[in-house]
Amino acid sequence: MLRLDDVHTHYAKSHILHGVSLEVQPGEVVGLLGRNGVGKSTTLKTIMGLVRPSEGHVRFEGREIAGTAPHRLAHLGIAWVPEDRRIFKLLTVMENLRTGLDRPGMTEARRRELLDKIYANFPVLAERQGQAGGTLSGGEQQMLAIGRAMMLEPKIILLDEPTEGLMPRMVSQIREIITLLHQDGVAILLVEQNVPLTLGVSDHVYIMEKGLVRHHATAAELRADHAVIHQYLGV
Amino acid sequence: MAIPFDQILIQTVNGLVNGMILALVASGLTLIFGIMDVVNFAHGDLVMLGGFTGAVTIATTGSFWLALLAAVLVIAAFGAALQATTLRPLLGRDPLTTILATFGMSLVLQKYALWQWGPSARRIQEPLTGQFQLFYLQYPWYRVLTAVLSAAIIGGFWLFLRYGKYGIWIRATMQDRIMASAMGIPVPWVHTGVFAIGAGMAAASGVLFGPLGGVTQNMGLDFTLRAFIVVVVGGMGNLGGSIFASILISLLEAYASLIVSPAQAVIVSFVVLILTLLFRPTGLFVPTPK
Amino acid sequence: MTARRSSTAYWTGFAVVLASLTIAPLVLPEFWRRFVTEILIWGLLAMSSDILIGYTGMVSFGHSVFFGLGIYGAAAALLSVKPPNLWLALLYGLTAAGLAAVFVAYFSTRLRDIYFAITTLVFSQIFYVIIFTWTAVTGGENGLTFAQPLLSLPGLWAARFTPETLHWFVLGVVTLSYLLLRRFTQSPFGMVLQAIRENEPRTRAIGYAVERYKIVAVMLSGLFAGLAGVLYAVQNKFAAPDFVFFLVSGEVVIFNVMGGMGTLVGPIAGAAFFLLLREGVSRYFTEYYLIPVGIIFTAMVIFMPQGLLGFAKRRLNQ
């Protein structure tokens, strides 16, 4: 469904991605691991149209999408949850969620349905409906960011380090959310530093180093292969 | 030399009235800056074009209200077209480029107006003549009407921002353009829309100002300059700040004109600008980051 | 080898242009002779502005202040001291412009980009209002007229300016200015200015006292703009508030953009281009020449931001 072939990306004069290739099938949870600075976030940003690749192809459902404007990708079914969450701080929780709901073809009933579903899954968000996004705690903001992405009813969610800076209790909540999304048939491309979590939820995993994918295996294989984990991730 | 109280009173009300008209112009400018980082040098010329459109409409239909409506709609559409053709390609380039581009536009618009409507001032007939009793003085109804209308327009816009469907789009885009786009908000269209709204508000001020000062092709510069000053003093992107700053500056200018000539009173706003830039460069209401 | 080669090409080109400008007053009819002299003066003004806009990256709408003060300063000298003295005019004009430059320099260090541009614009307008309304001293709306000074070498000899010698005097001053400014921009100082334009925070981080460089840039820019003003006063023998109106600064910026920022010669070419365009277009459009010219300018800003000579930027800066 989502496929990158030999993607090179530059940021100003720096050559960040040196030929990344990966693939995500519908409904899969795919992990993207690697140390800081190897280009994981840049990969997601390239997919989301925030940076244009200088070479290579990015295809979604067979269509070339490299360089397409992000708002079109959102309508096509790709949702992005960035590393720093990027909640609209001055909008309320409800308004943050609404940004994903004003799409062509949405009825008021459907909007209500989706909102109710989110509030059921994340009761904290229901409580804080009228509060400004900026007043939420880190973990709550992460939930809001994911919830907001779910409002797009996406086919795939690009999740960038969702557990960064969160307490262990919140980390397991994130794990539950990912499992929930997986059950709903939403594909996830998960960028993470948290190796155990990633190996626990993913179907297969890519490991990056210096702008390239160096290793690719199923989660099961990796769980057994400590040498590889140590080599690329130092844990 | 004591200044008679009735003079002070009149100037206070004048200041408030002028302040509201200026606020209408400045809110559009500050919003445009806040959302797409464009310093619109031609903003005052949109005021001017609005004034002329209004003058032409009132000459043919005789209705002030129709003139106001026509000016707003025509100039909003024009603004949208202008933004889509000339400013969109410039998104992402440095601010110098937009200043230059809008400066070029300003020149063209001014000379176009000169060509189209000639050098003499057009008058717009006010819809409400007559004066009312302000304490022991007479004060024109129309001036009060302009203040009320300006306030209504700004108020309406604020409500739209807060509660309207597209209000969320605008506010989200203003806070984080990229994330807004990632949420499916068509950011390029939001930009065009905001520019159109700003242009429409500017056009409205042009028509409202018409009966007070006449419409000439070079009236734009004064408005642009003052609006810039207001936006800087009030804080770029800060709607409430620009309203307050508009009134403050207009009041100061009004009082100054009691002492010096009106041409020189304009220096007051310049001084306020320079003081603000020296001590509170991000605006009076936005705390300066240390 | 390539550097040497393009350097020869450059100096050859320079010599050719200089030669043609020198012969100009001898072959051209009076109208065009004055025209070329004016191009040189506006060119000098545009060059001075290029230091700020093209090299340091600071947009300024304040050049009309320096220019105008140069004119009025010269006027003051030529009106107050008899017989009117050229060098005194230069002194007064440059001092006036210099003082204004100090003021603007102060702001340049505290404000960035847009705020600086707006402030310089406001600054122009403040001076405009003062000069316009202080009729007793500045002649207000009507300006001042005065006599042309003699071309004199103090103590040696003095003679009236003829159209030719005036042209050569202006050409001499402008050429010297160009060479001097070129020295500045080619030097390490010039490199730092360009570094500031490219990436100010990084330049500061490397350890350069960015403020000091900006101040010098503004002073240089202001003084040469004032010089252009003095030349203008000497040639045209009148001063008017119109020259302080920010529109003059705007036109100067147009010369910069059209000619190519950051090249020094570009702005002169831009001035020539604009003035010729205006001359040609106003035959058909009369006073509405700014409509097509304005459109061309705006289009150039969008599609051809490097200007006419921008492609040669690297070559011209060697």
C1 pLDDT higher than 70: no
Contact B273 C118 (CB under 8 A): yes
C-alpha to C-alpha distance for C81 and C93, rounded to whole angstroms: 14
Residues of A in contact with B34 (CB under 8 A): none
Domains and CATH numbers, chain C: 2-316 (1.10.3470)
Per-residue pLDDT band for C128 (boundaries 50, 70, 90) equals confident
pLDDT tens for A112-149 read 999 898 888 888 888 888 888 889 988 889 999 999 99
Closest-CA distance, C103 to chain B, in angstroms, reads 12
**Chains with at least 3 CB pairs less than 8 angstroms from chain B:** A, C
Per-residue pLDDT, averaged over A5-22, amounts to 86
pLDDT tens for C26-42 read 777 888 888 888 899 99
Residues of C in contact with B87 (CB under 8 A): none
ipTM score here? 0.90
Structure tokens at B10: 């009149």
Contact C121 B274 (CB under 8 A): no
Structure tokens at B33: 């800056």
Sign for the pseudo-dihedral over CA of C15, C16, C19, C25: negative
Sheet holding A14-24: strands in order across? A14-24, A2-11, A55-60, A63-64
Interchain CB contact of B10 with A (< 8 Å): no
pLDDT of residue C318: 54
Contact C125 B112 (CB under 8 A): no
Residues of C in contact with B273 (CB under 8 A): 118-119, 122
Comparing CB atoms, the residue among B95, B105, B263 nearest residue C114 is B95
C-alpha to C-alpha distance for A163 and A85, rounded to whole angstroms: 11
Contact B182 A71 (CB under 8 A): yes
* Range scoring the smallest mean pLDDT among A126-140, A147-161, C254-268: C254-268
* Cross-strand partners of C152: C158
Interchain CB contact of B169 with A (< 8 Å): yes
Interchain CB contact of C135 with B (< 8 Å): no
pLDDT of residue C156: 66
CB B174 within 8 A of CB B237: yes
C285 pLDDT higher than 60: yes
Interchain CB contact of C132 with B (< 8 Å): yes
Mutate to test the interface with A, among B163, B175, B177, B183 (most CBs of A within 10 A): B183
pLDDT of residue C62: 84
Mutate to test the interface with B, among C58, C108, C302, C304 (most CBs of B within 10 A): C302
Reading chain B (290 residues) residue by residue, the pLDDT tens digits are 566 787 888 888 889 999 999 999 999 999 998 888 888 889 999 999 999 999 999 888 888 889 999 999 999 999 999 999 888 888 877 777 888 888 889 989 998 998 888 888 888 887 877 777 767 777 888 888 889 999 999 999 999 998 887 899 999 999 999 999 999 999 999 999 999 999 999 999 999 998 888 888 888 888 998 898 898 888 887 888 889 999 999 999 888 888 887 777 888 888 888 888 878 777 776 655 44
Interchain CB contact of B180 with A (< 8 Å): yes
Interchain CB contact of B81 with A (< 8 Å): no
CB C59 within 8 A of CB C253: yes
Hey, where are the domains in chain B? Answer: 5-122+138-279
Q: Where are the beta strands (DSSP E) in C182-270?
A: 238-239
Peptide bond into B262 cis (omega under 30): no
Residues of B in contact with A82 (CB under 8 A): 179, 182
Contact B99 C59 (CB under 8 A): yes
CB B143 within 8 A of CB B212: yes
Contact A103 B184 (CB under 8 A): yes
C-alpha to C-alpha distance for C124 and B139, rounded to whole angstroms: 36
Contact B225 C121 (CB under 8 A): yes
C-alpha to C-alpha distance for A32 and A191, rounded to whole angstroms: 5
Q: What DSSP string runs through C78-111?
A: HHHSSS-BHHHHHHHHHHHHHHHHHHHHHHHHH-
pLDDT of residue C314: 60
**Chains with at least 3 CB pairs less than 8 angstroms from chain C:** B
C-alpha to C-alpha distance for B213 and B149, rounded to whole angstroms: 17
* Range scoring the smallest mean pLDDT among A60-74, C55-69, C176-190, C302-316: C302-316
Domains and CATH numbers, chain A: 2-233 (3.40.50.300)
CB C316 within 8 A of CB C262: no
pLDDT of residue B115: 86
Residues of C in contact with B253 (CB under 8 A): none
Q: What class has domain B5-122+138-279?
A: mainly alpha
CB C88 within 8 A of CB C81: yes
**CA B108, chain centre distance (Å):** 20
Contact C59 B111 (CB under 8 A): no
